[in-house]
Amino acid sequence: MQSDGNMPESFEDDFTLVRRSSMGTKPVLEAAGRDAAESDLRHDWKRAEVEAIYRTALPELVFRAQTSHRQYFAADRVQTCQLISIKTGGCPEDCAYCPQSAHYDAGVGREGLLDPQHVIEVAREAASRGVTRFCMGAAWRQAPEGREFENVLEMVRGVAALGMEVCCTLGMLTEEQAGKLKEAGLTAYNHNLDTSPEFYGSIITTRAYEDRLKTLAAVRKAGITVCCGGILGMGEREADRIGLLHQLATLEPHPESVPINMLVRVAGTPLAATPPLDPLEMVRAIATARILMPASRVRLAAGRKQLSPEAVTLCFLAGANSIFVGEKLLTTPNPGPDEDERLLQSLGLKPLEAHAF
């Protein structure tokens, strides 16, 4: 595969396909979608291949990503998700980006586990606004046992009864805990790799990369889908962004959900003074993720409030097909509902309907 900015040979068939479809042969694209669904997804990507894709000229890269996107997803649908912090602050991990770490004074107070009925009511209100995926996050290193875990299971059961996708991020899990979450109705478990294996130790010292992979394995064994992505803008090199994408694309199966986050710099955390990320790096990462993992839902996650409407539009063009709504993501700001509604309307995009997952 070439890396000199020219179209790699593997891109040529898609280029021909879309060129023909632009001349009025819509059935060609529909047939391509059926063919793509029947073909095997690749899990044997080489890092050099990922690098070549990531460094492709941006217009060409976005074009290729759009082609892949349309083979698996409706081009005008965006899934809306809502995230709530069910247990805030006091986390023993030292993740350099996180204001909930007990190691830093970032102005986030400690709050105990929320009442399950309150969480279910928040989910019910979200569902009434068309949100189809509800995510619950707790600042734990390891999901606890006992009453707290039973309360989480009650939350999962209640949200699942609303007909929503249910996702949790609770830290590390045992196989037994994963099994109980599955029985309660959990749809997905979020456990991000954050960055490349090489850069990981610069961001976190209290948990090894292998620990994250073990949790993902426990989730898979329980039959729960995986939500796994990373954070850009933490001072990593381009090679680390490529390394993260390579790690994700060689998981078998691919994560069904791939959140791409942009660092939200919070005073009091070690990364507070990190230079801002070029938004086009978000576009490149999203487009590359879409090409490598075409059947996965790529989520434009944290940091969206730092992006201009034009940058967000490019992310959608690059293959993002999910956003988080609500004015706060755990503890950091997010665009308000009016902003999101105006943006989607201006682009002609529509929220994904319930039960159309």
Cite the active site residues. 91, 95, 98, 135, 167, 227, 299
If DSSP codes are grouped into helix, strand and coil, which group holds residue 15?
helix
Which two structure tokens, joined as six digits, stand for 257? 């959900």
* 90 backbone φψ class: left, alpha, beta (φ>0; ψ -120 to 50): left
Taking the C-alpha atoms of residue 51 and residue 291, their distance in angstroms, rounded to an integer, is 12
Q: Are strands 350-351 and 257-262 parallel, antiparallel or unpaired?
A: unpaired
Q: What is the DSSP string of 223-250?
A: T-EEE--EEE-SS--HHHHHHHHHHHHT
Chain Cα centroid distance, residue 25: 33
Compute and round to an integer the Cα radius of gyration of the chain.
Answer: 20
Taking the C-alpha atoms of residue 55 and residue 95, their distance in angstroms, rounded to an integer, is 29
Taking the C-alpha atoms of residue 312 and residue 40, their distance in angstroms, rounded to an integer, is 30
For residue 294, give the DSSP letter: T
| Residue 167 φ/ψ, nearest 5 degrees | -125, 145
Q: Does residue 253 have a cis peptide bond before it, meaning omega lies within 30 degrees of 0?
A: yes
Residues in the chain: 357
Cα dihedral 93, 282, 316, 249 in deg (nearest 10) = -70
